[in-house]
Amino acid sequence: MTERLDMLGIGKSFFATRALDDVNFSCTAGEVHALVGLNGAGKSTLMKILGGVYQRDEGEIRINNTPVEIAAPADAGRHGIAMIHQELSLIGELTVAGNIFLGKEIRHKGTPFMNKAEMARQVRAQLDRFGLALDPHRPVRELNSGEKQIVEIIRALMSDAWLIVMDEPTSALSEEDKEMLFDFIRRMKAEGIAIIYISHHMPEIFGIAEDVTVMRDGVIVLSERIAETSEDHVIKSMTGAELDQFVKPHKQITGKVVLSVDGLSSPGNYDGVTLGVHEGEIVVLTGLRGCGAPELAKAIFGLDAGYGGEVRYLDKTLKPGRGPAVAVREGMGLVTENRDKNGILPPLSVRDNIALPFLEKTLKGGLIDGARVDSIVAKAIRDTSTKTSSPDQEIRFLSGGNKQKICFSRWLDEDLKLLILLEPTRGIDVHAKADIYRIIEDLAGRGVGILILSYEIDEVLMLGDRVLTMYQGATIHEYAYPHFDKDRMLADMAGAGHTT
Ligand code: ADP
Ligand code: MG
């Protein structure tokens, strides 16, 4: 029997946000159904409802025309639906087979001892079935992201999944691993597996999918057979025709060049990138996750030694991998995307977190000038409208938006010449977003050159004086305000016109 899933009239609200409204979505065994849409369109919410992570408010889920209840992830599993998450849930210390059989180990008859040979044999048989050359005995920590993804999928298939949901599976994969994954997907199709594939890469979608559904603001705006649509059509329906509300004040960029990057290349990351940032200018790099922009930004800051090409900053050529200390001394700042990991020191106070980069400057004859620190901290909190009960509050108790403001406040110092921002508003609420946009515009107004990496098209359009689109490590086009073309930018980012 051909398996079939239908999600009918699905509705879901989060307080005032209508995340899904009357959504109809179907897929069939042996086919790949691509699900696309800009950030916030509702893709993950729809899939979480299918996976039993969220409960729908309205609608019905049917498998082979029979209504089913999916109240918890275990229910999804029982119905043969598996989610492959971006944050993979494997245990590095266990082998491939150990992970696949985790919780349902095969034991030697009548003993508590695991039958490792039998488990490996069964895994081997599955890997062979899909033409995958992976050793069941290898510890998972030795595998790359592509191989780990394959282990997750095999684990799902061995628990009798017939429907696999993949959320942007290629975002962290090398070219070679992508090929391996696509081969695997083609073989799964041939074996009658259904796949829901969330991605923005047009070449991938048009290379492996049979159907494509586009969501926008919680509704389905396009659902078609791949053979009957075009990349252009898909991209246009992602953005819609409505004009953008925001009008950015026009600035004349007349200052001198702060940063110029010439032919920067790092194999597998970015390739032949040339760009410049002027005083007071906001340059935005954008693309899909995996486009190489964060690696590029970190190399400019001095965190990567292995690149070719040249980085010139304030008329000096910078040495690759010179480290952050040098950058900071020279007035170059970086706010990372991974704030909890390397942006803040969670157990320290707000005050200590702000003062950190200034310690050298606030030393007076080897002693810390406490009064100077206090005034810097007070000013930083005020300038960024950070909400904290006191400077002595431990930073880990602040909201994401306020933590981000603290990461910024360190750089409001008068010596700053260039600030590099990676995903400056990732995971923070609208109010904090507005504050952060204001801080960025203020800094630019003061003459600081700003280089931003953002994956959110609306933010890109709102902040950029110049925008560079990237795809697979290369810059595709440069756009100067006000000549922004949202559809064309999205097409660049999605690799429209490329072939896999
Ligand atoms: P996508 O995956 O397409 O980027 P999402 O499904 O994550 O979109 O989000 C759709 C909408 O629902 C967005 O407006 C998002 O802010 C909102 N949303 C998603 N999850 C939650 C949640 N747990 N609480 C509140 N709002 C949410
Ligand atoms: Mg999502």
Residue 126 forms part of a structural domain: yes
Choose one of 239, 264, 280: the last residue of a domain: 239
Residue-wise pLDDT tens digits, 19-52: 999 999 999 999 999 999 987 889 999 999 999 9
Q: Which residue has the higher pLDDT, 215 or 413?
A: 215
Residue 341 forms part of a structural domain: no
Residue 21: give the domain boundaries.
4-239
Residue 305 forms part of a structural domain: yes
* Bridge partner residues of 284 (DSSP): 452, 467
Residues 230 and 105 in one domain: yes
Residues 381 and 261 in one domain: no
Answer yes or no: is pLDDT of 243 > 50: no
- State what percent of residues in the chain have pLDDT above 70: 93
Residue-wise pLDDT tens digits, 289-332: 889 999 999 999 999 888 999 999 998 999 888 888 888 888 99
Residue 388 forms part of a structural domain: yes
User: pTM for the whole thing?
Assistant: 0.67
CA of 73 to the centre of ligand 1 (A): 19
CA of 489 to the centre of ligand 2 (A): 20
Residue with CA closest to ligand 1 atom 2? 44
Residues 304 and 432 in one domain: yes
Residue 14 forms part of a structural domain: yes
Residue with CA closest to ligand 1 atom 27? 14
Give the CATH number, domain containing residue 259: 3.40.50.300
Q: What's the Cα-to-Cα distance from 108 to each of 66, 304, 492, rounded to whole Å?
A: 40, 50, 56
Choose one of 239, 271, 304: the last residue of a domain: 239
Tell me which ligand sits closest to the C-alpha of residue 38.
1
Among 12, 14, 214, 289, residue to substitute to test ligand 1 (most atoms within 8 Å of Cβ): 14
Residue with CA closest to ligand 1 atom 16? 40
Residues 93 and 168 in one domain: yes
CA of 40 to the centre of ligand 1 (A): 5
Residues 106 and 211 in one domain: yes
Residue 339 forms part of a structural domain: no
Residue type, 439: I
Total structural domains within the chain: 3
Residues 105 and 90 in one domain: yes
Q: Are 320 and 306 in contact (CB under 8 A)?
A: yes
Choose one of 373, 388, 412: the last residue of a domain: 412
Residues 235 and 134 in one domain: yes
Residue 436 forms part of a structural domain: yes
Tell me which ligand sits closest to the C-alpha of residue 167.
2
Residues 12 and 141 in one domain: yes
Residues 282 and 372 in one domain: no
Residues 234 and 247 in one domain: no
- Least confident among 300-314, 319-333, 338-352, 377-391: 338-352
